[in-house]
Structure 1
Amino acid sequence: MSAGRDASPAPYRVPGPAPQDRIEWPAAFGTRFAIFVDTEEEFDWSQPLDRARRNTEAMAALPEAHRRFADRGVPITYLVDHPVATDPRSVAVLTGCLEDGRSAIGAQLHPWVNPPHEEIVSGINSFLCNLPVGLQAAKLAALTQEIEHAFGARPRAFRAGRYGIGPQTAAMLADQGYRIDSSMRAGYDYSDEGGPDFSAVPNAAFRLGRIVELPFTTVHRGRLRRGGVALHRGLGRVPHGRGVASRLGLYSRVSLTPEGMPLDEATEAVRVAVGEGLRLLNFAFHSPSLQPGNTPYVRDTADLRAFHRWWDAVLDLLDRLGVRPAGLDELIEATLVGPAGLEPAT
């Protein structure tokens, strides 16, 4: 499509991985969890996107939140977008966070605030995959260079803002030196908004060309959870169907995030994922949620306290279950080793 038009392209229906592409984690890796933070500017989620909205005041709340994780030995991968990478105060905050020795900087691309600015700002164009391939590549190169300039090293992990990965993204990332992508949200479908359809994407990590995909974990819980994506879609066609199914304990879909996911459902989802043998649980949240008033999930100080309580309870549960944290270096290293911990992966 032309970058100047706000037309709806055919949705990118992401195919499920071939069996040989699935990552077989080495035995020594055990069962782990990772946390990727969408580290970004603040904007009003209820309003149209605005290229001028580049405020990063919420970054001032990051050190205290980071300390809570670091004190428990939990590393974070901060997926930094263009407004953050070009703001000296934000760079200083993140540089301090890296002093824990295990956290890392990755990249997140919000097209509407990431140069070059050749497209109309719109909902359709907020998904990277809907832009011309050359413009996608130029935006990725610009972001990668800014992050390298700010932090002294090229980022190795990536997330497309709004999960807007496309069929050419993996090759572009590999060309820029990325090793990990986490742009896919297992089992979700954004095609109604003009974005990708991840209905066929599992939670398990897999090779995506020359990089490794770590999907954002989605767990189906409840007595009918084996209905999975098809059941979720069907319940959406029934008035209040999903809410009723959740209240009755029949079915609900849970992402591993404190944003909009109740604690009781999240802890059950963790137990389900571990019980079903998922070797890597992938958690996420948005950095502006660390300051009240920036996202729909943390509107006031009471919400912020609940946000931290959510993490305290989930981290306690992971510890009891023997699920250890993994930083970006550990994730990359483990994808280079075969299942016995001896042979290179192919």
Structure 2
Amino acid sequence: MADRAQPYREPPPAADALVRWPDRWGTRFLLTVDVEEEFDWGAPLDRAQRSTTAMRAFPDAHRRFADQGAPLTCLVDHPIATDPASVEVLREVLADGRSAIGAQLHAWVNPPFEEERRAGDSFPGALPETLEAAKLDRLTDAIAGAFGTPPRIYRAGRYGIGPNTRRLLRERGYLADSSVRAHYSYVGEGGPDFGAVGNHAYRVDGLLELPLTTVFTGRARAAGARLFGPLGMLPRGRGVAARSGLLSRVALTPEGMPLADALRAVDIAVGDGVRLLVFSFHSPSLAPGHTPYVRDAEDLRRFWAWWTAMFARLERLGVRAASLDEVLAAADQV
């Protein structure tokens, strides 16, 4: 088992590792969806929880995003890839000609099941290398079999990459990873630390890394990466800092991120020269009752209102949607 006393810490990329997007690229956004099973977010993870009923809402969601010109990068896990009904839904999504299928490894529902089921084992990168590789093989093969082509982009469940992950991905033909959640740390739970990583796409270990965009806002935002960790050690420190307008950490997702904060974060990211904004959400949020973010019909209404306002802001800023194919092609031109 990986040594939990030595968590994986992603170093900040060197300047020459940053992607230099072509001038004609402008500023774009990539919309990623963690397409996954439903489970109780407040309970211990259970490998028996593999229900995929929320996928019934996916076709309508896809139509809504397609109407905004936004293709979906669908990061599917093992319960989805092995469920015929979910696969059929996603095949229809792929028929739009711009959406893409990638992989997401939820270790606790992805065979083989050889781990000891300790807390940190939900982070696939914390597993022994041979077990992480075996789970990745089962997932990759399931996706390739279901959709007729292997996935090219990966996201570790719970953002849990480790020291072996990228080499394993490269050996299996993956081209990109989107496991890094900029400015977040999961060390306290046995996971990785991305506290030193910002929002710009970069190359590492032969892969294109597309961090999920997270922006510090507030009067102290310039020192956000340095201050946010220590604030978490103070009782209610981060909450007080956010309410006072001193410092907030805002990820580009409708899940738990107030609309006004997210709109401000987009303005800041664009102003800071981030050329690819990466949004995300979980597919079970498309139906009430499956995530803490969408508990009822009113939450679902707010979810879609968030996207309506966000797309209007992106259009006003001249930020266009990008497909995974477009991202990979543009990154290869530098």
Following the alignment from structure 1 to structure 2, what is the Cα–Cα distance between the partners of residues 264 and 278?
19
Q: CA deviation at 1:239?
A: 2.1
Structure 1 residue 308 corresponds to structure 2 residue 304 = yes
Structure 2 match to 1:290: 286
- Of residues 83, 88, 91 in structure 2, which corresponds to 1:95? 91
Structure 2 match to 1:73: 69
Following the alignment from structure 1 to structure 2, what is the Cα–Cα distance between the partners of residues 123 and 203?
28
Structure 1 residue 135 corresponds to structure 2 residue 131 = yes
Following the alignment from structure 1 to structure 2, what is the Cα–Cα distance between the partners of residues 137 and 238?
39
Q: 1:187 is paired with a residue of what secondary structure?
A: coil
Structure 1 match to 2:6: 10
Q: Is the 8 A contact 1:292 1:299 kept in 2?
A: yes
Structure 2 match to 1:218: 214
Q: CA deviation at 1:228?
A: 1.2
Count of residues in correspondence between the two structures:
334
Q: Is the 8 A contact 2:126 2:161 kept in 1?
A: no
Structure 2 match to 1:172: 168
Q: How big is each residue's C-alpha offset from its partner over 1:215-252, in whole Å with a ceiling of 9 and x where there is no partner?
A: 01110001110111221112222222222221221210
Structure 1 match to 2:200: 204
Q: 2:267 is paired with a residue of what secondary structure?
A: helix
Could you say if the C-alpha distance between residues 31 and 109 of structure 1 is closer, same or farther in structure 2, counting changes exceeding 3 Å? Answer: same
Alignment of 1:159-308 (within 5 A): 159-308=155-304
Q: Is the 8 A contact 1:128 1:165 kept in 2?
A: yes
Q: CA deviation at 1:19?
A: 1.4
Structure 2 match to 1:343: none
Q: CA deviation at 1:123?
A: 2.2
- Percent identity over the alignment is 59
Could you tell me which runs of 5 or more consecutive residues in structure 2 were left unpaired when the two chains were aligned.
none
Following the alignment from structure 1 to structure 2, what is the Cα–Cα distance between the partners of residues 157 and 312?
27
Q: Is the 8 A contact 1:51 1:121 kept in 2?
A: no
TM-score (norm 2): 0.98
TM-score (norm 1): 0.95
Following the alignment from structure 1 to structure 2, what is the Cα–Cα distance between the partners of residues 198 and 223?
23
Following the alignment from structure 2 to structure 1, what is the Cα–Cα distance between the partners of residues 234 and 28?
37
Q: CA deviation at 1:9?
A: 4.3
Following the alignment from structure 2 to structure 1, what is the Cα–Cα distance between the partners of residues 5 and 150?
32
Could you tell me which runs of 5 or more consecutive residues in structure 1 were left unpaired when the two chains were aligned.
339-346
Following the alignment from structure 1 to structure 2, what is the Cα–Cα distance between the partners of residues 247 and 119?
42
Following the alignment from structure 1 to structure 2, what is the Cα–Cα distance between the partners of residues 117 and 148?
21
- Of residues 31, 34, 38 in structure 2, which corresponds to 1:38? 34
